[in-house]
Every structure is written in structure tokens, then in C-alpha cells.
Amino acid sequence: MSKEMLIFYALFLLLNTFNTIIITHQRLNRYIAPFKHSFKGELNAFIGNMFSLNMIGFIVLLITQNGYYAMIILVVLTGIFNLLFFALNIFNLYYGTSFSREGLDIFKNPAEGISKGLSKEILNELFGYYRIILFIPFAILLFYLIHINQSILFDLNVMLSDLTILGTISLSVLMISITKYIYEKMYLQDFTIKAVKVTYGIQNFGIFPFYMASFLGYKLIPDSIYSRKKKNINELYQIYSSFDKNKSQYLNFFNKKLYSNQFSVNQLSKDITIDKSLVSKNSNLTGLLQGKNLVLVQMESMSRFLLDIPLLKSEFPFLKAILEESVDFTEFYSSVGIGVSSDAEVTTLTGLYPTGFSNLYWSDFDSETSQFKIKRELTTLPKYFNKQNYYTEAIHGDYKRFYNRENAYPTILDFKKLYGLEDFTDKTESGRQGIIKFFTYEYSKGQKHISPWISDYQLADTVQTKVKEHNSPSFYFPITMMPHTPFGFNPLQNKEYIEDCKLKDLTKKYLQFAEYYDNIIKRIFLNNLGENAIDPNTVYLFYGDHGCGLKNRDLSKLFAKDLSRLEERKILQQVVAFLYVPGEKLVDKNGYFLNEGLIKGKQGLVRGQMDIYRTIIELFGLKAENHAYFGTHLLSSEPSYVLDNKLQDVILDNFMFSMRNREKTFPKNKTVEHKLFENVKNFKLLNDILLEEKNIQTELNNLKKEKNNI
């Protein structure tokens, strides 16, 4: 090769390798949560990336046999690599984790409404967050190609034989194989949770070799590593039973105290009270709400910090009123993975964490036959309620095909009905804008909400009507749609005091939804005339599906203090949740006439979506005596934790740590005990087996039944 060609080729290798450092280091990419960087891992990834690029380069040389054409192709490939790296950055921003092949399932969802406004946010990332630096390799190589003296480029056949090129490619393959071996050994020693495989892989094996292997269909870590590891069912049952909370007596891991599935008054958290009319003589609260209706509301992107920041202290008048008659879960955290909203449903309705890297509703689904290749037999709240002769229905303002709910709900969850956008017969179409089809709802006289989905006002009105008109005991599961990133379609006027703030536009748009949030919660309880529509025979439980995902450092401005990255992640994971059990008596709260709550107070201990599952089973007396569950009762004094299944952050009472890097804690002076880390990891491994392996939960529950009957 000529000197000029060698310089170009060296730049191709080094510049593209430098881009991998930008992607995998948090100082350069604030959206990634990396593992602890080690010299061994960094060197291994550097070698893996360099030899992967070298293999690509020499394959191009082999095909073209011409220096000039080879350089053109390598410039084009560099542009493609840079674009893909930018896409990985955007994926990290919106989904909170690294992209995996399994993650392609999320793109099966219709995204017409979400697409509006995304282009502006992507451009803001490109220039506002300087992601344009990812295109530096392309710019430099293109500049070099344009200004090089083309007369010095010659036919490579003269200098490089096919044997030399093939030999170099073979050497590259060998080096990649060695780095793969080292990476797998490191991974199996450090971690075996499938959800972190991609982040660990791109950091310690290299982005180029990892994704090349992944998209060629090669499994870097065999699935057998994550399976039962050839344990027989009895061995697995011992692990299953050790985490089971559905027992008359079990030992809490954190405080070594005994607790029970027979929840009683003496287990109540200290700041929660229950009206005497609900409490039986023996103080046992199991079955306390048996026979009542349940409205379980999943709220889109409702972060807890909205109630805590000074800027919004005058907002949420109705929510603050209803919270005085409810149990307010002030430390409630989301546990979603890459499936975000659908993952929140999975955990709440099955009592299992999502895998974190895939979407259960799309997993093993064959679009051609519209059937699941593997039908997982999971215990779910709809199944339990169905056995109690309840009517079960999910209600959502998007198309039924969104998250494949039309197939997953009847097959996996066992809802009797899914009421989707297609079922709102009174919806009013109002034209199109590009690919987006709009619907209009007049939620108040002269005030209309226009959006690509059924308005949450209309959703709330529908829930009101269904609760009022249905005669048999019912379980309704309404899911709100807004505000959905990038926070468009707000029907209310912008707040001037928010407009004046020195915040990013995306943050402002989100904060301006405060009044909307308050209104749609109010609309569940009051009709469009402001009249009380609360049913005293219905229990209302609200919870946020996940946080708002604002990672632009604006939270530090909103809280007027410099937040660490881990503290910011904790705030973004914290969502609003409350339980309202109305009685017959009316009380005046902030000018709203509400039914007095029969269970009231604040739960200041950490709770999450898995805990909803257990609590509903126990409070409603659902027949699950031969089944295991793993959550902590929402109302109890028992300590617990919540696992973020995207980043593997663990949140406990007054403490938080990252499973990816145990040195990352909040507060910083805390240390993570090995036993705690292993306990969380082992439960996560068991959880994923239960969710992924066909019928394994049924087999284990059958074993429990056998042992209970001995």
C-alpha cells in the first residue's frame, strides 16, 4: 500500500474505535449506565473492535482490489457506523438500556402518535448534546478522500495478494475469537443476568464484534447458562420456596423478622390507619376487600417528583385532596425493562419482574398465524378474579395491536375483554396530519382534546360508566395514554411561569401536563359537571407505569441542587401511587365533596409494582393458597426493595446501589454487602426462569400443592 492509503486505513481503524469509547463511557454518554471499567475489559474491547474493523476493511480490499474504490466504500461504511452509533445513543435515551436484537420487538408497535415531535428532540440531541461528534470519523475520512491525490492510488493486486488479504482476515477472526473467549469468561464470573448482557458485551467485548455476532444469529452466551443449569425440579423448588411469601410464616431477608401472608393490623405500617368498620374482631385483614369492585389504573409516565418540586407546589388540587383520604405510597418505584408500559402491566398483573431485555407480549409470537409459539402458563390477577366470578376488562385508548395486547391479553393474562381504540364507538375522527390520524373529544363545553389516541378524559368517562352500569363484581384495568414522550397533544394552555424557566423545551412540555394529570385523575371520580361519581363498593388503586425519562440534567435545576447520576436515576424511577377505599360518608376536601377514605395514611417504605400483585391477592381474598408470590404487602411495615430491570439499580429504604457497579451507591458512603447482592441476583435469575420457561411456574406450584397436602 502507498503511504496515503496506509494513513487513511489507520484513520479508519482508530477513528471508528474512538467512537466506541464515546458510546460506552458515561462521561461521554450520560445515557448509559456502564459496568465498572477494568483494564482487562477495556483492552479486550479495544482489540475486539480493532480487529473487527480490520476484518471489514480487508474484506472490502478483497472485493474491490482497487485502493480508490476501497476508500470510497470505507468512507460510506464509516458514515453508516456513525449513524448507527447515533441511533444507539437515541435508543439509550428513550429506553434506558443498550439495544439488543430482542429489542427489535418494540418496533412492531404502531408509533404514529409518538413520532410527532421526535424529530425535533433528535435534532436537539444531535446539536444540543453535541452528538454530532459521533460523525467526526466520517467527516475526517471524507475530507481526506476528497483532498488526496488520486493519481497515487493504484491497483492493489500489485502490492497485496489474495493470500495476504485472506491471511489478514483469518488473523482478525482468530483475534476476535480470543477476545470473545475472554469476554465470556469475564461475564460468567461477574454476572449472569440476561438483561445486562448487551451493555456488558459492548463494554468488554466491543461494539463491533458484539453486534456483528448478535445479528448473524450467534449466541455469545448460550441460553443454557441462564436456564435451570440442569437442576431437577425439586432443586429448583427449593430456590422457589426460599423466596415465596405466600406462607403462614416467612423470614424477611433484611431485618430477620417473621411475617405472614395472613396480614393483620399489627403488621400495618405505622402511618396507616384502617376504619373500624372494615376490621374484623380478630384483626385479620386478609380478604378485607373481598367482593368489592377494583379499578386498577395504570398512569402513563407519572413521576413522583411532580408533587415534590417547588415549581408545581400550587398544582394538583384534586390529587392532593384525594390523597388525604387515601394511602399515599411516597416511595413507590417502577421496575420496568425495555418493554416499559407493557412491563409495568406484566409485573403488576403476574407478580414477576420483566426480563428487562425483551417484551413478553411479543416474545415467541408468530405474526403469520397470530399465535404464540410458546404459551406460558402464568398466574395472573385476571385469572384469579375470573375464578371468583368477577368480570375482568382492560381499557386502553390506543389500538389493540399496540404491544400486541389483542393477542397477549386473552392468551397470557386471561382478561375477558380488551376495550381498545376500535371499541370507542363514540369517538370522533378529526382528520390526518401526515401518517397521524386524529380523534377529538369534547371533555367540557367548548373544550376539546385532539390527539392520535382516545383522550384520557374519554377513557375516564368510560370507566365511570362501566363501574356504574355493571351489576356483577368487576375488575377494570384502565391504562392512560398521555402524557407520552415527547409530550405533545396537551389540550390545556401553557403555564407562563413554566415558559419563563431556564429549562429544556422537553422538560417544560412535561411539566405543563401537571393540570392534565390532575384533571384525568379527577375525572375518574367526578363527572364532567364536577359531581361526585364515586362508587363506595369500588376500590381504586392508581400507580405510574414508569418515569418521564428526562435525562437532560434539568432535575438538578428543578430541585435546586446538584444531583448525582444515581440520585437522578432514583428520582426518574419513582412514580405516583395511591390506594383509595371509599366509604359512604361524604367529606369536603379543598372544595371537593369526596367519600371519606376507609384506609388512610402515608407509606414511606419502598414499594413497587410487584407488591400490588400480592396486596390485591390478599386484600381481595383471591384463591392462591397453592401458588407462590414474591412481593411485599403495600400496607405493611416489612422492609423490601425494588429492582429496575433496565439498569439493574436496586432501591431500598434510604439506600440505593447499582448492580452493574457496586461502588455506585446513593448515599455515597454506603457499601453493598455480598449477601444482599447475591440475594437480589439469585431472585432475578429465578424470576427470569419463571417468565421464560414454558409451564415451569405451573410445575412448581403443583409441587407446592403436593407438599401442602402432605
* 631, 614 contact by CB (below 8 A): yes
Which pLDDT belongs to residue 156? 47
- Give ranges for CATH 3.40.720.10 in the chain: 235-708
* Distance, CA of 62 to CA of 301 (rounded, Å): 51
Non-local (6+) Cβ contacts of 674 within 8 A are none
Which pLDDT belongs to residue 228? 53
Q: Which residues, given as ranges, of the chain have pLDDT below 70?
A: 1, 102-118, 149-160, 221-231, 280-282, 710
Pairing state between β 592-597 and 582-589: antiparallel
Residue 650: how many CA atoms within 13 Å on its side-chain side? 23
DSSP letters along 241-310, please?
HHH---SSSEE-TTT--EE-SS-BGGGB-TTEEE-TTT--TT-B-TTTTTT-EEEEEEETT-BGGGGTSG
Tens of pLDDT along 353-386?
999 988 999 988 888 888 998 888 899 999 999 9
Q: Which CATH architecture has domain 235-708?
A: 3-Layer(aba) Sandwich (3.40)
What's this model's pTM, rounded to 2 decimal places? 0.92
* 24, 207 contact by CB (below 8 A): yes
Strand ranges inside 425-503, DSSP E: 428-433, 436-444, 447-451, 474-479
Which pLDDT belongs to residue 322? 98
AA letter at 391 = Y
Which pLDDT belongs to residue 158? 44
Phi, psi of 577 (to 5 degrees): -155, 140
